[in-house]
Amino acid sequence: MIRDTYTILMKNKIRNLIIIFIIISSQALNAQADKKYIRQGNREYEKNKFSESEISYRKATDKNNNATDAVFNTGDALYKQKKFEDAGKQFMENIKMTEDRNKKSSAMYNLGNSLLKANKVQESIEAYKGSLKLTPDNLQAKYNLAYAQDMLKKQQEQKQQQQQNKDKQDKNKDQNKKDQKDQNKENKDQQKDDKQNQDQKQQQDQQQSMTKDDAERLLNALANEEKNVQEKVKLAKAAKERVRTVKNW
């Protein structure tokens, strides 16, 4: 019974050793495979075949999830293809994966470049600052930090100027509305005055017309009366002459 137990234990131990050996061998093969794809990607990158190099680097990470160099190089390949946001994600992943100060600083620096190209200026400034905390002597990071800060300042000034222009336009728009309202009121008042003047003129014209008619009637009446008087005078004179003639007989 003791021998049987010992045999079982030995078999289990041997089996475990075999499993460990297989795992180690698999990891070694994967490590060799990821380095193979990294080297291939590097050759393609140097020939400016950035899309092909990206594929090779991704194959390397498929073989080894901890291949920090492959993740970093994937970001570089994406950056060269002007896929700046995707490149930034790779550099951020690389920052989390590595503990090496220089590599982490380089990833932060490249992250800053990607963010700056993606017009995320404020975020790029923070990335450059993070890079300089790890490697303060990085002159290129200092230059890019100053450039990004100057760009941010110009953007803020431009935004402020745009807001001022908008406020001025809104003010002018409100003033124009007020002026138009006042002009409409003035036009209505003028139209009202014109109508009143027109009505008064019509009344005056009517009054003048009536006065003229009355004057004509009066003149006609006077003319008729004068004519009647003249007729009466003539008749009276004729009658007097007739009497005198009879008397002379």
Q: What is the pLDDT of residues 114-126, one digit of tens each?
A: 999 999 999 999 9
Q: CATH classification of 82-155, choosing from 3.90.1150.10, 3.40.50.2300, 1.25.40.10, 3.40.50.300? A: 1.25.40.10
By the 8 A CB rule, do 125 and 152 touch?
yes
pTM for the whole structure: 0.60
For residue 46, is pLDDT > 50?
yes
pLDDT value of position 240: 62
Percentage of residues in the chain having pLDDT higher than 90: 53
Q: What is the mean pLDDT of residues 77-95?
A: 98
Mean pLDDT, all residues of the chain? 83
For residue 77, is pLDDT > 80?
yes
Fold of 1-81: 1.25.40
Among 10-14, 129-133, 192-196, the range scoring the smallest mean pLDDT is: 10-14
Q: What is the DSSP string of 106-169?
A: HHHHHHHHHHHHTT-HHHHHHHHHHHHHH-TT-HHHHHHHHHHHHHHHHHHHHHHHHHHHHHHH
Q: What is the mean pLDDT of residues 28-39?
A: 76
